[in-house]
Structure 1
Amino acid sequence: MKQILLNDLKWEVKGYWPWVPLKGTSMELGQELMGVTDWMPATVPGGVHYDLYRQGWISNPYEELNSLSCEWVENRWWVFRTTLERPELESTRIELVFQGLDYEAAVYADNVLLGEHRGMFEAAIFDVTDLLSERESLEISVLLKQAPDEMGQIGKTSATFTQKSRFNYKWDFSTRLVNVGIWDDVVLRVHQQCSWDVVSITTDTELGKKGSGQAFGRITIQASIKQMAGPEHVRALTASITCSDPEGNPLQVQSYSVLSGEVLNAELDIPEPQLWYPNGYGKQPLYSLKLKLLDEYDMELDTRSLQIGIRKLNYMRNVESPANALPYTVVINGRKIYIKGVNMTPLDHLYGNVTVEQYQQMIHLMKAAHINLVRVWGGGIIEKKAFYDLCDVNGIMVWQEFIQSSSGIDNIPSKQPEFLELLRKTACAALCDKRNHVSMTVWSGGNELMSEPNKPSDLSDTNLAMLKELVEKYDPQRLFLPTSASGPVEYITEVKGQGHDVHGYWKYMGNPYHYELYGSNDNLLHSEFGVDGLSSLKSLEKFLNADNLQPISMENSAVWRHHGEWWDTLSREEEMFGGMNDLKQFSACSQWMQAEGIRFVLEANRRRKFRNSGSIVWQFNEPWPNVSCTNLVDYYGETKMAYHWVKQAFRPLHASLDYRSLLLTAGTRFQGNVFVHGVDGGRVQVDAEVLDAAGRSLYRQTFEADGDKDRAVCAGSLNFSVPEQENLLYFVRLSFRDVEGELQQNLYVFSTAKKHLYAPTLELTGGNLQVRQESLWHPAGVGEKSRQAHFTLHNTGSEVLLHVHAEEKGNHYWMEAEEQFHTLFPGEKRTVMVTCTPKLAGGFLTGENYSSTDALPEIKFCSFLRAQGETIPDEGEGKHE
């Protein structure tokens, strides 16, 4: 079988009123019904919104309130068309395949109806053999009816009737912007007499027989053979399987005699395999598997190539787990894996426009932050193939949910027959398509499905029981969880013994309650929680008009409410810092509280490793620009302060301080335990230092502990006397060396101010940031045109500089600094490497894409509410290669 990609054909699209394309002419006048729009160039894959924007039919829906004036788009019918030339290839059957139609479609070839299709996640396949045998070309038309009127975040789950991505219809991190279009690849499959059909690959590892001690990797292959001619033409075939090691060297070639229409079952044993591990636990070697199908004359009929990882996958209950708990701890190659996870929404509201490069950047950011699992949320989409390929390569385990989610009014999984049939088709397609990815780790029935308030649905629900049966049939190796959270209660609770897999909360819970709640919790798995925070000023300026670039409550601004209604943090920041004078200050304070809140939860959970099996932060990204949200990376690819503190909290070797309040009482003693996390053994030294804002060291204490890979180790108690002065800041800095000997630090900021606890930080004016570019921009090795440079940062002032970070002045690069939002006390220096990767995004982000005429990156460094000091270039002037 040959696959010909049809994305780059000349596609056009035109909008109509409902039913008009089927009627064509007026019944009364007999004249052509011309439609709502003219024919215009179409992006495939993509969506009609971007095509309309390019032709001036709509304003940018991501800016201000513009999306409100775009809601007519979902209520029209849309026709895509292109011309398909007959391929010059020998063929028995030719199939036209749409990998993703969104949502209800009728497909025509030269006005002949090929068939109808409904659903986003199951391929639409049409046989065009006979038509192409008679003609040199075909006009292909795809009629997409208006989007179904499904429910957004607020509604009744029991009334759900589609398998369309529900976040499109309004969620707390998105607006109502319902995608319509061809959202995934279009291909032409050219078959000869026989082709591979469904291929299932599983891998395992075991010790050799008779006590040899030699390890073997086992690859089990089950592949059905589809006969393209009639059943009377059974053929004798040869199936050839070649397995090559991760370096590309052939290891085994095996041949099997099979008949067309049969299923091939084969096993390959690989001595001493290179095993696949999640990020942070080892490497991710991938073996190449090539399946060839040959006829009786040794002519090649079809070839299927796959990249596979070899590993043993198990699950176990947590340490001290209740007897009725599910097995939440993932075990790979006999090693318990502590989950350092994030929840992911679709990368764009109009998901058809997302590029491979956007997936690459997001997965790169996950890996760099020591993340080892991503939960693909059930209110979004089942992602494109490129996403799962990248997870395989980078060691990011995938928790994939089927397309179901809570709705607030009721959260009961739908039992409508129409819905269950669609859900079954989606689940079967997803299971067969994704199970060969070594990164696939957990299947879940959906997001926050509940049989009654605060009680997650279980397998007594017929909807979820059906999904369980499908997983057992098509992918029995993986764990199936009925829903996330999976109970016995939905939300995090102070009641002991009830918090197994829990969700919540999504706000900073205030000082001291935030620390009391999370610091003493006993949940087994924290699969969704977060804290909200504003986007950076750089990003806010891209979608807000100048009149809206000022601190304001969501209650008092329709525009702000439109871009993040649930995530109003103004009162929180005013309580912690005092009045918010400008938007830059508001953003900086808000991002700090988000980072502080999330970091504490991650460290508190990690202190209970493997009684707690991990944390999955809500949320990694956002699909459209929000003023405020619970995301770590904003729509434009800018990382927030919380991303970098999550990165610190997830470090392979980490030291944390257990505290229960940010408020210190003058003249009393502070006591908090110091913990060491994630060491395979050996002695670890942690130096704790208490400093004031002038950098004076007030107290020092050294801790030593023997590391343990399966639990956090308490190294001792930090105990110091708080000075008598009021309204002062105190800093506790933990310093330690990582496994490579590099110095790492973790800083906590406390205050004695009873009102507006962090207000003293706004009065820090004595720091001075001096920046020197130490190297020319040079190739980074991350991407073809990525560039790196080193900068030395020096605080030449008399007070501390908080949250020192880099920003790229322009918009054409994704910027990453190896260390961000760190603190420099007077006289301290630090050298930071900055990497910039040219943007190549899709849809409404294309205006920021890099072009060959763009200049090299320009980097500025800032601290908390402070602009950059003097920048001293290197001897080569620093801006040129």
Structure 2
Amino acid sequence: MKDTTPLDQGWSLHHEGQRLPAAVPGCVHTDLLAAGLIPDPYLGTNEPEVAWVDRRDWTYTRELPAHGSRHERTDLVFDGLDTVATVTLGGTRLGSTRNMHRRHRFDATGLAGELKVEFTSAYAEAERVRALVGERPNSYPEPFQYVRKTASSFGWDWGPTLPGAGIWKPARLEHWSTARLAEVRPLVTVDGAAGRVELHVTVERTASGAGRPLILRASVAGARAEAVLDGDTGVLVLEAADVALWWPRGYGGQARYDLDVTLADGADGADPLDARQHRIGFRTVELDTSADGHGSGFTLVVNGERLFVRGANWIPDDTLVTRVTPARYRHRLQQAADANVDLIRVWGGGIYEQEPFYDACDELGLLVWQDFPFACAAYPEEQPLRGEVEAEARDNVVRLMPHPSLVLWNGNNENLWGFRDWGWERELAGDSWGEGYYLGLLPRIVAELDPTRPYTAGSPWSGSWDHHPNDVDHGTHHSWEVWNRQDFAEYRAAVPRFVAEFGWQAPPAHATLRRALPGEELAADSPGLLHHQKAADGNGKLNRGVERHFAPPADFDRWHYLTQLVQARAVATGVEHWRAHWPHCAGTVVWQLNDCWPVSSWAAVDGDGRRKPLWYELRRLYADRLLTLQPADRDGAPRIALVNQSAEPWTTALRLRRLDADGRVLAETAVELTAPARAVHRLPVPAELLPAAGSDREYLVADADGLRAVHVPVPDKAFGYPHPEYELAVRAAGDGAVDVVVTARTLVRDLLLQADRIDPAAAADRGLTTLLPGERTTIRVHGLTAAPTAARVRQALFCVEPA
């Protein structure tokens, strides 16, 4: 049987004549941080102080003593080298690498001595390749499209510039004889309760194993198959008679089965040579892009069920990606699931994530939309890049395809759009830019290796050049005029078929800012906060977003609350509008779930893992049942929408009230309504319940089954809000938690307890809440190290105030 020797210990990083202890997996930045040789680039304005690291070459070494293996062959395997490296062992050059996104295997049979991995600066490699293939346009002033490395490590409009180097995934020696399993590729399908696995296997043989009959065995869900393998490839088919389906969260369970594959020698297969195990799930997935009277759709269909996707975009959870542990993956993805997210899009400026990410998605029922790593740039198609792109695509399609959560391959992020709209076509003047990858190479690889899953050429993409790449009536759409130039109310101007990116910025939690900007007096324009704002005119857009709706904030605390409130309101405006138009619109994927460092960004969970008000709002917006009041549409009447994504009809008593700002009920009605399963029930607001047009006093409230929607007909700064008055009580709730009980004496709009202001470790169980006079809410706070006083809690409470 194959033996494996991990190579995770004994490494050194060479730095100015020193040998520093090095972690594998790891990277240069984390090793230098551990040695105290660089400041933390995530704190204050330290980031530029470590820029020298990225311009240098680096060497990792360790001793590899002679191995007394009984096997014929020893391979040195690196699951990931970041990025341009030469590998030598005992003075013998084994090979070189230039791609972070693929695995590398070298024949190290009989070799021992010093194992050396010499990394060339990614900048040096990018500049070398650019000189070979010529200049190409991109959206950022960094040469990331010339090297197969995480694009966002070169900096993004939410991330720092830290394109370092290192052995970023596990390394090992594999000792084997006769033959090994080089590739195991399961095509998993299901028909009713009958599961089928068509198992494609490739083996690599030693000289003694050439032409030798081998036994290939596999089993799954009680089904078994066996075959004699004379060549280097073989196919086994397993038919499982009665399997449970794997479903997305909210639609059913996540049944998974162990697929065991064994390669053996001997006439009876009694001598095992190699083995693999995958955890698979049986489910079908289709992408319906058929034409209709409104254009062409983009609807995911899993096990025959048409889905409105409730998604979030995912970026690398740390720019120093080796710090993301399996536990951290699980925690962050649990946060997504707890916000009722059912799809994660792995965005194309990042990486193919590591195995624990997809394992957690399988377990949690989170669908995965996987981008190939191309984003916001024209990518040359010449060598040496083209061969690397093909090798990495083949490697990762085979690596990831056993995961049932993976439902879609996507060719790129915004590059087809960029070619059409951002001046690239003229600038390129006929040079290659990636179209051959997205419309040729990648779909061909997916069709060959993983025909069980759909592929789309890009996001956004309308399906063909017959339509604009970002056409709202065809395929996927990215909505960035809102935020960049328009108010969030403009989300209601269109109903795209599928919104794959949209969002609004806000700063991180207060405690995150305090940690990341030590000693700084916080202000919207303080040096550290501006450094942790990477978007072009980011704070200008934040301020304009606030000023469209609210009076200018008097201090930082008020600015912080209002920017987070506007972020939540912006996303709510889009999601409520688009969900109310299911099935014409078949999904929203908010930009973005997470952050890679402490930064002002579009994220719902900040760089320290704290949940912003947007996270709580997503939990409401993405729940199976959503109640929304939509402002006047073309026929002039505001509408109520009951959105029901559950499997059962939703029958509820809807209560509508028209109120005055002082709390008086001006009109009221109650009606019983039913929204069918997986459907939307829309109806106009009765005329007598409509607030007077342009009124600065009247507003509308809808309540149903504990859900609430509020419609104010004018901007908040024009509405006659009373000065908010409420009573406050703080009570012990057991297990160190406390209940904060707020009783409103006036209208209290968008009440928010920022629990991290009480204690950095504290978190509340709810976000923005609107109370009418006389109503009460209880906010439970966990994670406190000491019981807070009412005065301390009051300092952490915010709500909308009169202009």
Q: CA deviation at 1:186?
A: 1.5
User: Within the alignment, does 1:474 sit opposite 2:449 as a pair?
Assistant: yes
Q: Which residue number in structure 2 is paired with residue 27 of structure 1?
A: none
How big is each residue's C-alpha offset from its partner over 1:80-112, in whole Å with a ceiling of 9 and x where there is no partner?
122345667643322221111111011122232
Q: Which residue number in structure 1 is paired with residue 437 of structure 2?
A: 463
How big is each residue's C-alpha offset from its partner over 1:647-698, in whole Å with a ceiling of 9 and x where there is no partner?
211101222111159xxxxxxx984333333243435213334455665544
In structure 2, do the counterparts of structure 1 residues 725 and 290 end up closer, same or farther at CA, with 3 Å as the change threshold?
closer
Q: Which residue number in structure 1 is paired with residue 349 of structure 2?
A: 379
Q: CA deviation at 1:560?
A: 5.3
Q: Is the 8 A contact 1:550 1:583 kept in 2?
A: yes
How big is each residue's C-alpha offset from its partner over 1:245-302, in whole Å with a ceiling of 9 and x where there is no partner?
xxxxxx23x2423235443322222233110111221111111111122322612222
Q: Which residue number in structure 2 is paired with residue 735 of structure 1?
A: 704
Q: Is the 8 A contact 1:328 1:524 kept in 2?
A: yes
User: Within the alignment, does 1:702 sit opposite 2:670 as a pair?
Assistant: yes
Structure 2 counterpart of 1:771, from 723, 730, 739: 730
Q: CA deviation at 1:563?
A: 7.6
How big is each residue's C-alpha offset from its partner over 1:175-232, in whole Å with a ceiling of 9 and x where there is no partner?
322121111122222323322221111222224xxxxxxx312222122232234454
How big is each residue's C-alpha offset from its partner over 1:506-562, in whole Å with a ceiling of 9 and x where there is no partner?
644899x633x32241311111111111222211112225445113399x9853555
Amino acid of the structure 1 residue aligned with 2:346: V
Q: Which residue number in structure 2 is paired with residue 352 of structure 1?
A: 322
- What does residue range 446-457 of structure 1 map to in structure 2 within 5 Å? 446-450=412-416, 451-453=419-421
Structure 1 counterpart of 2:372, from 394, 399, 402: 402
1:152 & 1:540 partners in 2: Cα distance? 35
User: Within the alignment, does 1:443 sit opposite 2:409 as a pair?
Assistant: yes
How big is each residue's C-alpha offset from its partner over 1:754-795, in whole Å with a ceiling of 9 and x where there is no partner?
8x347x66x744123323232225xxxxxxxxxxx5736342
Q: Which residue number in structure 2 is paired with residue 630 of structure 1?
A: 602
699-708 or 545-554, larger mean C-alpha shift:
545-554
User: Within the alignment, does 1:484 sit opposite 2:413 as a pair?
Assistant: no
How big is each residue's C-alpha offset from its partner over 1:303-327, in whole Å with a ceiling of 9 and x where there is no partner?
211100001222223683656x3x6
- What does residue range 273-312 of structure 1 map to in structure 2 within 5 Å? 273-296=243-266, 298-312=270-284
Q: Which residue number in structure 1 is paired with residue 163 of structure 2?
A: 178
User: Within the alignment, does 1:120 sit opposite 2:134 as a pair?
Assistant: no
Q: Is the 8 A contact 1:342 1:618 kept in 2?
A: yes
User: Within the alignment, does 1:241 sit opposite 2:218 as a pair?
Assistant: yes
Report the 3-state secondary structure (helix = DSSP H, G, I; strand = E; otherwise coil) of the residue aligned with 1:39: strand
Q: Is the 8 A contact 1:536 1:588 kept in 2?
A: no
User: Within the alignment, does 1:433 sit opposite 2:399 as a pair?
Assistant: yes
335-344 or 38-47, larger mean C-alpha shift:
38-47
Structure 2 counterpart of 1:540, from 469, 493, 513: 513
Q: CA deviation at 1:723?
A: 6.8
Q: CA deviation at 1:500?
A: 3.5
- What does residue range 155-194 of structure 1 map to in structure 2 within 5 Å? 160-194=145-179
- What does residue range 80-91 of structure 1 map to in structure 2 within 5 Å? 80-85=60-65, 90-91=70-71
Unaligned runs of 5+ in 2: 127-135, 426-431, 799-803
In structure 2, do the counterparts of structure 1 residues 158 and 67 end up closer, same or farther at CA, with 3 Å as the change threshold?
closer
Q: Is the 8 A contact 1:413 1:463 kept in 2?
A: no
Q: Is the 8 A contact 1:765 1:799 kept in 2?
A: yes
Q: Is the 8 A contact 2:12 2:19 kept in 1?
A: yes
Q: CA deviation at 1:587?
A: 1.1
2:43 & 2:397 partners in 1: Cα distance? 38
In structure 2, do the counterparts of structure 1 residues 795 and 311 end up closer, same or farther at CA, with 3 Å as the change threshold?
same
Q: Is the 8 A contact 2:580 2:641 kept in 1?
A: no
Q: Which residue number in structure 1 is paired with residue 503 of structure 2?
A: 530
In structure 2, do the counterparts of structure 1 residues 76 and 454 end up closer, same or farther at CA, with 3 Å as the change threshold?
closer
How big is each residue's C-alpha offset from its partner over 1:807-839, in whole Å with a ceiling of 9 and x where there is no partner?
2569886x6655332334454444556666xxx
In structure 2, do the counterparts of structure 1 residues 864 and 832 end up closer, same or farther at CA, with 3 Å as the change threshold?
closer
Q: Which residue number in structure 1 is paired with residue 587 of structure 2?
A: 614
In structure 2, do the counterparts of structure 1 residues 282 and 421 end up closer, same or farther at CA, with 3 Å as the change threshold?
same
In structure 2, do the counterparts of structure 1 residues 562 and 155 end up closer, same or farther at CA, with 3 Å as the change threshold?
closer
Report the 3-state secondary structure (helix = DSSP H, G, I; strand = E; otherwise coil) of the residue aligned with 1:584: helix
Q: Is the 8 A contact 2:76 2:172 kept in 1?
A: yes
- What does residue range 404-803 of structure 1 map to in structure 2 within 5 Å? 404-407=374-377, 412-450=378-416, 451-453=419-421, 461-464=435-438, 465-487=440-462, 488-491=467-470, 497=473, 500-505=475-480, 507-508=482-483, 514-515=488-489, 517-552=490-525, 559=531, 561=533, 565-568=537-540, 569-626=542-599, 628-660=600-632, 671-685=638-652, 686-691=654-659, 696-717=664-685, 719=687, 720-722=689-691, 727-728=696-697, 730=699, 732-736=701-705, 744-748=706-710, 750=712, 752=714, 756-757=717-718, 764-776=723-735, 789=737, 791=739, 793-795=741-743, 797-798=745-746, 800=748, 802-803=750-751
Q: Which residue number in structure 2 is paired with residue 200 of structure 1?
A: 185
**TM-score scaled by length of structure 1:** 0.80
In structure 2, do the counterparts of structure 1 residues 222 and 590 end up closer, same or farther at CA, with 3 Å as the change threshold?
same
In structure 2, do the counterparts of structure 1 residues 388 and 594 end up closer, same or farther at CA, with 3 Å as the change threshold?
same
Q: CA deviation at 1:145?
A: 1.0
**TM-score scaled by length of structure 2:** 0.87
Report the 3-state secondary structure (helix = DSSP H, G, I; strand = E; otherwise coil) of the residue aligned with 1:51: helix
Amino acid of the structure 2 residue aligned with 1:72: W
Amino acid of the structure 1 residue aligned with 2:80: G
Q: Is the 8 A contact 2:184 2:199 kept in 1?
A: yes
1:369 & 1:527 partners in 2: Cα distance? 18
- What does residue range 74-153 of structure 1 map to in structure 2 within 5 Å? 74-85=54-65, 90-131=70-111, 138-148=113-123, 150=126
Q: Which residue number in structure 2 is paired with residue 819 of structure 1?
A: 766
Amino acid of the structure 2 residue aligned with 1:538: A
1:492 & 1:816 partners in 2: Cα distance? 41
Equivalent pairs, count? 768
Q: Which residue number in structure 2 is paired with residue 782 of structure 1?
A: none
Q: Which residue number in structure 1 is paired with residue 801 of structure 2?
A: none
How big is each residue's C-alpha offset from its partner over 1:544-584, in whole Å with a ceiling of 9 and x where there is no partner?
25445113399x98535558753541233234222222222
Amino acid of the structure 1 residue aligned with 2:325: T
Identity value in percent: 23
Q: Which residue number in structure 2 is paired with residue 61 of structure 1?
A: 41
In structure 2, do the counterparts of structure 1 residues 50 and 691 end up closer, same or farther at CA, with 3 Å as the change threshold?
farther
Amino acid of the structure 1 residue aligned with 2:436: T
Report the 3-state secondary structure (helix = DSSP H, G, I; strand = E; otherwise coil) of the residue aligned with 1:265: strand
Report the 3-state secondary structure (helix = DSSP H, G, I; strand = E; otherwise coil) of the residue aligned with 1:386: helix
Q: Which residue number in structure 1 is paired with residue 194 of structure 2?
A: 216
- What does residue range 18-29 of structure 1 map to in structure 2 within 5 Å? none
Report the 3-state secondary structure (helix = DSSP H, G, I; strand = E; otherwise coil) of the residue aligned with 2:387: helix
In structure 2, do the counterparts of structure 1 residues 460 and 563 end up closer, same or farther at CA, with 3 Å as the change threshold?
closer
- What does residue range 259-270 of structure 1 map to in structure 2 within 5 Å? 259=229, 261-270=231-240
Unaligned runs of 5+ in 1: 16-35, 133-137, 208-214, 245-250, 662-668, 737-743, 778-788, 837-854, 870-881
1:647 & 1:397 partners in 2: Cα distance? 17
Q: Is the 8 A contact 2:227 2:236 kept in 1?
A: no
Q: Is the 8 A contact 1:287 1:309 kept in 2?
A: yes
Q: CA deviation at 1:459?
A: 13
